[in-house]
Structure 1
Amino acid sequence: MTALLELTDLHVYYGNIAAVRGLSLRVEPGEIVTLIGSNGAGKSTTLRTISGLQRPRRGAISFQGKRIDTLPTHDIVRLGIAHAPEGRQIFAKMSVRENLELGGFLRDDTEGLAADHESMLELFPRLRERLDQKAGTMSGGEQQMLAVASALMARPVLLLLDEPSMGLAPVLVELIFDTIARIREQGTTVLLVEQNARAALAVADRAYVLESGVLRLSDDAATLAADPAITQAYLGG
């Protein structure tokens, strides 16, 4: 059976430095799959390569059975992959409304865009209160909500989420992960990069563990969460 997303023997370099070495993974439709590992493990590079922001030196990336590793980013978005990158990369000087509109800029279904705009405000009620506020004046948690909502405005089949809980208070971390579960319930498959490994494993179906760009382990998320070695190495003992 063809996976929704498949990476095969992926090698990615920055100059002469190998960031990802021989990575193979699969994401099936309807899953939440997480990549965990320490800083510099190659997690964000993997997402950037899937979305076309970085090119692999070797290997293949297939989405719905089609090779995408040579396509430009806008074509990858059109195929159904959206990327909410690390660091809440929103348009700070534009309003919340304008950021959401830009999220769907490749779409031409006016009615569908209006419906999805309303869906985002239902998913993130705090954004409704700030529609005309400049995005850069919002709190970190609100900016993260906007980054995710803007990516979802592309109506993706697959959402790439990079460190969505970074820098957030615990109560907002819980909200973000509850929202990730709801996104999957609404039909979007999620590939999640997250340093909060405990929270990521709690919401994910399966997990891949990266170390220095190399895949070390992969299993059901619940199995890895119960593994003492994983607990010691990635979950704080």
Structure 2
Amino acid sequence: MLDVSGISVYYGNIAAVKDLSLQVEQGEIVTLIGSNGAGKSTTLRTISGLLKPRSGNIVFDGRKIEGMPAHDIVRLGLAQSPEGRRIFPRMSVAENLDLGAYLRNDKEGIAEDQERMLELFPRLRERIAQKAGTLSGGEQQMLAVARALMARPKLLLLDEPSMGLAPVLVDVIFATIKRIREAGTTVLVVEQNARAALSVADRAYVLESGSIKLSGEARALRNDPEIAKAYLGG
């Protein structure tokens, strides 16, 4: 579904991502793990069209998308829940969900999907008329994911979904990621919490200083002593 081939991304003269390649197959959960500053968020922002690579190719669902405007990439079926949630704080939960569907005009389908999001995240139903800025951190993260899903993506990009959350909410978020995949959406998740990410992913890539250091089945990487020492605290 996604084939990223040899992309390099620069901020000025500084290379944030160097000759990076990764693949995501339909129906998978793939995770990109690494320390802070490794280039994980830059990679997702480039895939979703917010940044342009200096070199390399990105093919999504059979179409080259590098350099394509971000809203056109969303229209093709790729949506991102960004790092830091980026919800619209002065708008209600319902209005934030509506904005996730801004490229759609199927009112019945939008209403059905909003109901599906409220079933997936029952806390949002309780807060539906509340201003998003008054939600807790965990609730804001749920809203950010639900808003991205309102675009009905084939591929969902999640950038640091567990950032700043209590352990019990981290478990809720990652259990929900599994349910999202079970409902038919492919997922690429960037995450500093390597233990949580590797527990739900099928495959993983380890990013270090802008380059892929290791890749393989998530279960194998979870049991790799080098990975355990560097990312899992043991």
Aligned to 1:5: 2
Which residue, out of 31, 34, 46, partners 1:34? 31
Aligned to 1:201: 198
Aligned to 1:96: 93
Shift of residue 56 of structure 1?
0.1
What does 1:88-167 align with in structure 2 at a 5 Å threshold?
88-167=85-164
Which residue, out of 61, 74, 77, partners 2:71? 74
> Residue deviations 1:176-216, cap 9 Å, x none?
00000000000000000000000000000000000000110
Aligned to 2:166: 169
What does 1:36-55 align with in structure 2 at a 5 Å threshold?
36-55=33-52
What TM-score do the two structures reach when normalised by structure 2? 0.99
Alpha-carbon separation, structure 2, partners of 1:199 and 1:187:
21
Alpha-carbon separation, structure 1, partners of 2:41 and 2:233:
21
Alpha-carbon separation, structure 1, partners of 2:14 and 2:202:
32
Shift of residue 65 of structure 1?
1.3
Alpha-carbon separation, structure 2, partners of 1:152 and 1:73:
16
Q: Does 1:59 pair with 2:56?
A: yes
Q: How many residues align?
A: 234
Alpha-carbon separation, structure 2, partners of 1:61 and 1:40:
22
Aligned to 2:186: 189
Q: Output the amino acid matched with 1:203.
A: V
> Residue deviations 1:112-143, cap 9 Å, x none?
11100000000000000111100000100000
What does 1:221-236 align with in structure 2 at a 5 Å threshold?
221-236=218-233
Aligned to 2:11: 14
Shift of residue 48 of structure 1?
0.1
Shift of residue 35 of structure 1?
0.2
Q: Does 1:23 pair with 2:20?
A: yes
Shift of residue 151 of structure 1?
0.2
Task: For residue 101 of structure 1, give the secondary structure of its aligned residue in structure 2.
Answer: helix
Taking every aligned residue pair, what percent have the same amino acid on both sides?
A: 73
Alpha-carbon separation, structure 2, partners of 1:31 and 1:8:
18
Task: For residue 22 of structure 1, give the secondary structure of its aligned residue in structure 2.
Answer: strand
What TM-score do the two structures reach when normalised by structure 1? 0.98
Moved over 6 A (4+): none
Q: Output the amino acid matched with 1:153.
A: M
Task: For residue 52 of structure 1, give the secondary structure of its aligned residue in structure 2.
Answer: coil
Alpha-carbon separation, structure 2, partners of 1:173 and 1:49:
26
Alpha-carbon separation, structure 1, partners of 2:168 and 2:36:
24
| 5+ residue gaps, structure 1 | none
Shift of residue 235 of structure 1?
0.6
| 5+ residue gaps, structure 2 | none
